[in-house]
Amino acid sequence: MLDLFPSRPQNLKNELLSGLTVALALVPEAIAFAFVAGVSPIIGLYSAFFIGLICAIFGGRPGMISGATGAMAVVVVSLVAIHGVEYLFPTVILCGLLQVLIGTARLGVLIRMVPHSVMLGFVNGLAIVICMAQFGSFKTVSPFGRLQFMQGPALWIMLALVALTMAIIWLLPKLTKSVPASLVAILVVSSIGFASNRMLPGEMAAHNQRQVVMTVGDMLVTNAKVAAAKSVLPIEGPEAFAVGNHAPAADVNDLTPQQTAAVADAMNSIDANATSISAGLPTLFFQTFRLPPVSLATLWVIFPFAAVLAAVGLIESLMTLTLIDEITETRGNSNRECLGQGFANIVCGMFGGMGGCAMIGQSLINIESGGRGRTSGAFAACCLLAFVLFFSRWIEMIPMAALVGVMFMVVIGTFEWASLKLYRKIPTTDFLVMVIVTAYTALMHDLASAVILGVVVSSLAFAFKHAKNVNADVQFNEQGVKVYQLHGPLFFASATQFKELFDARKDPETVVIDFYYTRVYDHSGMEAIQSIAEKYQHLGKTVHLTHLSEACREMIRKAKDLVCVSMSDQPQYHVSTDRFRCRNSGLDSSVSASKSSKEASV
């Protein structure tokens, strides 16, 4: 990874300035995700405040930023569209309860099972997703309610300001590191944008854009207008008008004059609250919205959404935690993060929020700006609430170009450029897993599913590879006993090859299977042993197992009602059956298989 995340000692100044930078970057993200979810932008901002504050204090990863996210928004959008926003808040509360249960059960450590190739694919795919999402900020709304790219002077000014933002972030650390470069870039570009909008004529703004330099306030108006147009246009799909989404819209020529007039009326009559981030203190959701019926039918509706929200939120958060661990060379607590996020979602749902999880882009901004502790995240959340209560007018004047430039620098720092040189330097399956996860993340914008897919593919590749590693060295001792010295793991994928190692008809009367260099890992392996034992017993031959691992013997002890094994310090020959007869056969202490071994279990 490029060295865009320098190591800085944790101090209060860095924490506070970094928190302010993150808060400025959180505003458009929370608003955009609220529109994707089909709820008011204020709900998105409140969600970012509660999730950000509680996770910063109680979460398992200092320096990680949490808030309202797109991954959560795309899950709840259909719930809101079908059942109404009042079903959203109980769903978020139930999601938090499930996450608390997962944390209590200490299942957060399962993130350690994610292979490094999946992590690389996740990081690269995430960088591509963040980059693609910024293109939505280059769009304005047409008179017909369609999103279209800027043209003319407005586009060139936007590009110039984005380039200036990136240049400041890149060059300023070479001069001084006393202040976060991202914050300085936002302030400088905001000053230029404010002056440009005051001095340049408004006619230069293309396609119904209010100002020459598009601001956060313009983005609010754009989102509100496309949402209003969506309510009257014949377009299906909840994401058809989301800023940053490239879903095809219906052709303008398909609209009737009545529909065109309805679109114009809808866009001209948008609620003023939808074009401002100003609001009061949050209240409990049942004071503003009506409660859904408290019944099993309601639980049946919300539980699937809550379960998916819990899984998506934890996967994205734990992957972010792992990434921050790697960058800062410290270690977070995955189980504590599950508990903290669950508690945050419970509180968020109680106060009418849409839920949330870790935000990777904002977390990287925080790390780049010098935030290392819990103070930066908590201060960012408090600043966000202050923006809503007192400084909404000023925040709405920030140019989108400044925030886009910051995110583009995050993309450059996030992408693992060294991974492009890994072809032929790492196993082919690992490289393919990395490519698959990257492509799925970039195309589907589903980070959680991409991680699950990568883990599944890696597991299958691992199982297939080790399925071929079971073999045996065959030798005869002085008594004519044939000994199979096994090598390699015995589990479900290798069970078939294990069975093919033996020739029961040609083998002598007594056979020993030595497990000194192998282990039995699952029921498929035990079933394979039983199958081999039955073949020898059917031919009137005796088979002995020796050097079974302690774990395997422990399984036998737990199944004491089915098996009886003689334990000693000498090598043991174990065959499991319904009923064991312990005897000495001249092969040290052993257990011989009875002829009826249908219910065998090792």
* 230 vs 236: CA distance, rounded Å: 9
**What pLDDT score was predicted for residue 207?**
43
Do 592 and 542 meet the contact criterion of CB atoms below 8 Å apart?
yes
* 152 vs 155: CA distance, rounded Å: 6
> Are residues 481 and 337 part of one domain?
no
> Does residue 583 belong to any structural domain of this protein?
yes
Do 547 and 514 meet the contact criterion of CB atoms below 8 Å apart?
yes
Cα dihedral sign for 512, 513, 517, 523? negative
> Does residue 466 belong to any structural domain of this protein?
no
Domain endpoint, select from 396, 417, 438: 417
> Does residue 320 belong to any structural domain of this protein?
yes
> Are residues 514 and 389 part of one domain?
no
> Does residue 455 belong to any structural domain of this protein?
no
Q: Torsion angle of alpha carbons 92, 335, 69, 352, nearest 10°?
A: 30
* 325 vs 330: CA distance, rounded Å: 5
> Does residue 86 belong to any structural domain of this protein?
yes
Do 106 and 324 meet the contact criterion of CB atoms below 8 Å apart?
no
* 140 vs 120: CA distance, rounded Å: 34
> Are residues 404 and 489 part of one domain?
no
The β-bridge relationship of strands 147-149 and 139-141 is: antiparallel
> Are residues 100 and 193 part of one domain?
yes
Cross-strand pairs, 358: 66
Q: Which two tokens stand for residue 252?
A: 């303008």
> Are residues 228 and 346 part of one domain?
yes
| H-helix or E-strand spanning residue 460 | helix 447-466
CATH code of the domain containing 543: 3.30.750.24
Cβ atoms within 10 Å, residue 257: 7
> Does residue 449 belong to any structural domain of this protein?
no
Q: Which two tokens stand for residue 493?
A: 């994928």
Question: Measuring CA to CA, how many Å separate 208 from each of 144, 148, 196, 298?
Answer: 11, 11, 17, 43
- Evaluate if pTM is beyond 0.85: no
Angle between helices 428-444 and 116-134 (to 10 degrees): 30
> Are residues 263 and 334 part of one domain?
yes
> Are residues 336 and 222 part of one domain?
yes
* 375 vs 373: CA distance, rounded Å: 6
> Are residues 484 and 392 part of one domain?
no
Structural domain harbouring 478: 471-592
Q: Which two tokens stand for residue 507?
A: 């083998």
Cross-strand pairs, 542: 510
- Name the domain count of the chain: 2
> Are residues 399 and 485 part of one domain?
no
| H-helix or E-strand spanning residue 477 | none
> Are residues 89 and 163 part of one domain?
yes
> Are residues 222 and 137 part of one domain?
yes
Q: Is 45 exposed, middle or buried (0-12, 13-18, 19+ CB in 10 A)?
A: buried
> Does residue 189 belong to any structural domain of this protein?
yes
> Does residue 600 belong to any structural domain of this protein?
no
> Are residues 407 and 303 part of one domain?
yes
- Positions of the chain with pLDDT under 50: 1-3, 203-208, 235-251, 561-602
Domain endpoint, select from 372, 390, 417: 417
